[in-house]
Amino acid sequence: MRKLLNTIYVTNSDAYLSLENNNLVCTVEKETLLKIPLDNVENIVCFNYLGCSTGLMGECVKKRIPLNFMSPEGRFLAKVFGETKGNVFLRVEQIDKFRENGLQMAKNEMAAKFSNCIYTMKRTLHDHAELKEDAAMAEALQVLKEGVEKAEECDSVDLLLGIEGNCASIYFGIFSKLITGNNLAETFQYRNKRPPLDPVNALLSFVYTLEMIDCSAALETVGLDSYIGFYHTLRSGRASLACDLVEEFRGIGERFVLTLLNLKVISEEDFEKQLTGAVLLNDNGRKKLLTKWQEKKRTEIYHPVLKENIPYGLLPYVQSNLLAKYVRGEVEEYIPLLLKRTVK
């Protein structure tokens, strides 16, 4: 099993990254805050930082360690990565496989996504029995269950997109009910983005971006082209396959956001509202979230295909590897991550 390495998140606007004897060094005003062997790092994510030495950048390229640049609010800006390598024939097989079986793969992916939404709701219902009598919750569960069935039966991507849109609207319509004991629930009415207009949407968008970074890096690691997807249409500059893969991870991100809110790790003071109306995490809020995200990635989860416990942080790599096996014809189908199966 692949070893879980470190993802380094840089949030200090005065931080400077450099290379010293094969160590990643982070300094602020000439004071060293972090020194870690570069071989123990698998990803670097920079938010609003001072700079990075060309020596470190070159070594990251050589070792194929993604160096991601984000805006302070969590919007992806750019990525420095090494030369695209891997088996070119695998990428040809990827294109052929997706053309031939893309619709079925998309149907399975959406069915898994809706199932994970159901799992998230049932987790809350288990802890808050009073919500079982809520009519909106019952309706949402029914729509999502029907969504799973319809996804498995539909015969076009356009129809699948319609099913997804309806399920998402219903699910996020009751999402605030899953937030218990935190007044930020009152700020959430529906899913919005680019920019997020309330604290809950700000958290969701930020976490989805973190998952997107992990999925994109994992796909490239196993030799797949992250820009050639089976569900999201091809678009210049968009990592469509990473967008596809992240769909099955949204449930993990949503559960994580709910945990932050329900345990009151995040509060109203961790956000700032801009003149445009956008609501974004402030420096303190980002640090809180990233600390908890790293802790989450180190905890273990039972994987039903591997039949063993693995760290959450390895899930993108494991699923990407299973997808590559499917493309190569080593397994008959690709099985998306189903959270309900991860409870041993």
**Whether pLDDT at 33 is above 90:** no
Identify the CATH number of the domain in which residue 311 sits: 1.20.120.920
Q: Is the pLDDT of residue 342 over 70?
A: no
**Closest to 286 (Cα-Cα) out of 72, 76, 75:** 72
Domain of residue 48 covers 6-80
| 171, 304: one domain | yes
Q: Are residues 75 and 94 in the same domain?
A: no
Q: Among 70-74, 281-285, 301-305, which stretch is predicted with the lowest mean pLDDT?
A: 70-74
Mark whether 254 and 328 lie in a shared domain.
yes
- Position 275 in a domain: yes
Q: Are residues 63 and 116 in the same domain?
A: no
CATH value at residue 22: 3.100.10.20
- The predicted pLDDT at position 89 comes to 84
- Domain end, chosen from 24, 59, 80, is at 80
Question: What pLDDT, on the 0 to 100 scale, is given for residue 66?
Answer: 84
98 in Cβ contact with 244 (< 8 Å): no
Domain boundary residue among 29, 64, 80? 80
The full DSSP string for 22-86 is TEEEEEETTEEEEEEEGGGEEEEEEES-SEE-HHHHHHHHHHT--EEEE-TTS-EEEEE-----S
* pLDDT tier, 179 (very low <50, low <70, confident <90, very high otherwise): very high
pLDDT higher than 50, residue 343: no
- Reported as a single tens digit per residue, the pLDDT across 145-171 is 999 999 999 999 999 999 999 999 999
Note whether residue 1 is domain-resident.
no
Tens-digit pLDDT profile for residues 224-275: 999 999 999 888 778 899 999 999 999 999 999 999 999 999 999 999 998 8
Cis bond leading into 66, ω under 30°?
Answer: no
Evaluate whether 135 touches 170 at the Cβ level (below 8 Å). no
Clarify whether residues 73 and 117 are in a common domain: no
Whether the pLDDT of residue 5 is over 80: the answer is no
Residue 125 inside a domain? The answer is yes
**What pairs with residue 41 in β-bridges?**
6
Q: Is 243 helix (H, G, I), strand (E, B) or coil?
A: helix
How many domains are contained in the chain?
A: 2
- Residue 230 domain-assigned? yes
Is residue 210 in a domain? yes
Task: Mark whether 96 and 76 lie in a shared domain.
Answer: no
At which of 80, 107, 132 does a domain end?
80
In a shared domain, residues 167 and 288: yes
Q: Are residues 27 and 101 in the same domain?
A: no
Write down the pTM of the prediction. 0.86
Does residue 181 sit in the same domain as residue 226?
yes
Strands 67-70 vs 76-80: parallel, antiparallel or unpaired:
antiparallel
Whether the pLDDT of residue 186 is over 50: the answer is yes
* Token pair for 69: 């640049």
- Both 175 and 263 in one domain: the answer is yes
pLDDT score of 322:
94
Do 126 and 257 reside in the same domain of the chain? Answer: yes
Nearby residues of 255 by Cβ (< 8 Å), 6 or more positions away: 120, 123, 339
Q: Was 164 annotated as part of a binding site?
A: yes
Same structural domain, 52 and 131 = no
Share of the chain above pLDDT 70, in %: 94
- State yes or no: pLDDT of 21 exceeds 80: yes
